[in-house]
Chain A
Amino acid sequence: MEALSQQQKLTHSPLFKFILLEFICLILMVADKNSQITQPLRNSLSWVAMPIIKVIDWPGQAYQTIEVAIARQANLIEDNNKLKQQLLESQLKVQQNVSLLAENIRLREMLATSQELPLKTSVAFVTDIAQTGKRQHIVINQGRRDGLYKGQPVLSLSGVIGQVDILADHYAHVILITDPNHVMPTEILRTGLRTLAYGNGHNLILKEVPTSAEIHSGDVLITSGFGGRFPRGLTVATLTDVSESPQRDFQIAQALPGGSLSQLTEVFLVWPEQVQAIP
């Protein structure tokens, strides 16, 4: 009896609770780092997290609604005309592209190379959740329920911006290509030189360009399709600055992603379809 009461005392002491909770946290962290076991826990916690995200998003949405309600009609008409103009221009470009696409497919068939199928896409909105300085993450309002998967490419109008990193049921964290932990296989459009683009917090950096390779600032960087995460041929960034490494063994180039990554409002998700090889 005495032993029992002692045991009860033990389980009620703060030290015991502390050690137990820390142990649980430690196990969770190890599990989270090394496998997908914690995904169900993340999903169930996302039910609690969802209302908080909604609350943070609410002022922004309210502001937009009010802005539309207050905006003068003249402004709206002006905007509308501008958008129509833009639509016309882009449709013209699409028309040109259609013929180019047909030609491309024909040429590929002649060469009997693999064919790239059109991509399936969907639009998601970026929530107002703050990104901390250390990690460049954005939170989008689509999650596992919408068919997202880990490692899925995320685009904006000006090119690739990142990939889905952490998934919950109703929202997802997207790691941006400028995150210090992100590396992606890229290719320089003009010369076809393949290299890796590392994020460095603000922009991209190419550390491993051979000194013999010819690169200029202004060259366009596209995805090379290696690694199988990003489909080939999406714009990534433009080179801004080329210099030599301190050891003089490589050229180092800085690249600036098109469009500001900190002011995104909507992003496109891409489902790359199976690349079909023509025998």
Chain B
Amino acid sequence: MNANRQQLIFIHLSLLLALLLTLIPWPPTVQLFMPHWTALIIAYWSLHDDGRRVLLYAFAYGLILDVLMGSLLGKHGMSLVALCFLVTKSAKQLRMTSFWQLLMMVVVLLFNDLIIRLFIDWVSYGYLPEWQDFLPLLTVILIWPWLNYILDRIYAALRHR
């Protein structure tokens, strides 16, 4: 029970950290390449922790992100819930696949998430996507392995205590 609670705290801490990373004022060039941290973390947790209510967390943190970013209420919620559902659905297969396949799948799923957000922007205020909007996907390729590794290590340490 205690370990369980620690894991729960760890999930929330990582998600809060993702929110902070999204909102920190980076220099404009770095900002262009900034991955959608919350989506990465949600993807990780829905991959490794399907027993929990990650879907609800995705929804809640999506709404908080919307309020913080001043976007349409529910925009990030919708994209994160979709991402979480898709990952949870195929979590068993994804955990079995090789490193590169998993990486490819994560990029594809995050691309889907990006498309949902761009579509909502387009419907709500006629925003037309530019090629710069897709740069974060490149950073994801670099960041995902490290993020996966670090979170795996901490998660394992918590489980085997």
A25 touching B59 by the CB < 8 A rule?
yes
Which residues in window 1-31 of A have CB below 8 A to B?
Answer: 14-15, 17-18, 21-22, 24-29, 31
Nearest chain A CB to B24 CB, angstrom units = 6
B77 touching A38 by the CB < 8 A rule?
no
Contacts of A17 in B (CB 8 A): 55-56
Among candidates B28, B70, B132, residue contacting A137 with C-beta atoms closer than 8 Å? B70
Nearest chain A CB to B130 CB, angstrom units = 9
Let me know if B67 is at the binding interface, CB within 8 A. Answer: yes
How would you classify the secondary structure of chain A's contact residues: helix, strand, loop or mixed?
helix
Contacts of A56 in B (CB 8 A): 20, 23-25
B73 touching A139 by the CB < 8 A rule?
no
Question: Would A29 and B74 be within 8 Å (CB), given that A22-B81, A130-B24, A181-B125 are in contact?
Answer: yes
A32 touching B22 by the CB < 8 A rule?
no
B68 touching A22 by the CB < 8 A rule?
no
B85 touching A29 by the CB < 8 A rule?
no
Contacts of B74 in A (CB 8 A): 24-29, 32
- Bound together, the chains give a CA A21 to CA B67 distance in angstroms of 17
- Bound together, the chains give a CA A28 to CA B71 distance in angstroms of 12
Contacts of B23 in A (CB 8 A): 52-53, 56, 129-130
B19 touching A52 by the CB < 8 A rule?
yes
A-facing mask of B64-106, CB < 8 A → 1, else 0?
1001111111110110011001001100000000000000000
B85 touching A18 by the CB < 8 A rule?
yes
B31 touching A130 by the CB < 8 A rule?
yes
- Bound together, the chains give a CA A165 to CA B69 distance in angstroms of 12
Nearest chain A CB to B115 CB, angstrom units = 15
- Bound together, the chains give a CA A231 to CA B10 distance in angstroms of 51
- Bound together, the chains give a CA A22 to CA B125 distance in angstroms of 20
- Bound together, the chains give a CA A28 to CA B63 distance in angstroms of 10
- Bound together, the chains give a CA A176 to CA B130 distance in angstroms of 21
Let me know if A154 is at the binding interface, CB within 8 A. Answer: no
- Bound together, the chains give a CA A21 to CA B85 distance in angstroms of 11
Contacts of A130 in B (CB 8 A): 22-26, 31
Nearest chain B CB to A143 CB, angstrom units = 12
Let me know if B32 is at the binding interface, CB within 8 A. Answer: yes
A134 touching B121 by the CB < 8 A rule?
yes
B78 touching A168 by the CB < 8 A rule?
no
A-facing mask of B20-50, CB < 8 A → 1, else 0?
1011111010011000000000000000000
Nearest chain A CB to B56 CB, angstrom units = 8
Instruction: Select the stretch in A39-47, A86-94, A103-111, A235-243 that faces chain B.
Output: A39-47
- Bound together, the chains give a CA A77 to CA B24 distance in angstroms of 33
Which residues in window 113-148 of A have CB below 8 A to B?
Answer: 128-135, 137, 139
Let me know if B124 is at the binding interface, CB within 8 A. Answer: yes
Nearest chain A CB to B161 CB, angstrom units = 28
Enumerate chain B interface residues (CB-CB to A < 8 A).
16, 19-20, 22-26, 28, 31-32, 55-56, 59, 62-64, 67-75, 77-78, 81-82, 85, 88-89, 120-121, 124-125, 127, 132-133
- Further pairs besides A22-B82, A52-B16: 15, Cβ < 8 Å: A14-B89, A21-B56, A21-B81, A22-B81, A24-B74, A29-B74, A32-B73, A32-B74, A42-B67, A46-B67, A52-B23, A128-B25, A129-B68, A130-B31, A134-B121
Query: Can you list 18 A-B pairs, Cβ within 8 angstroms, ordered by A?
Result: A18-B81, A18-B82, A21-B56, A25-B59, A25-B62, A26-B74, A28-B63, A29-B72, A29-B73, A32-B73, A33-B72, A49-B64, A128-B25, A130-B25, A130-B26, A132-B31, A135-B71, A166-B70
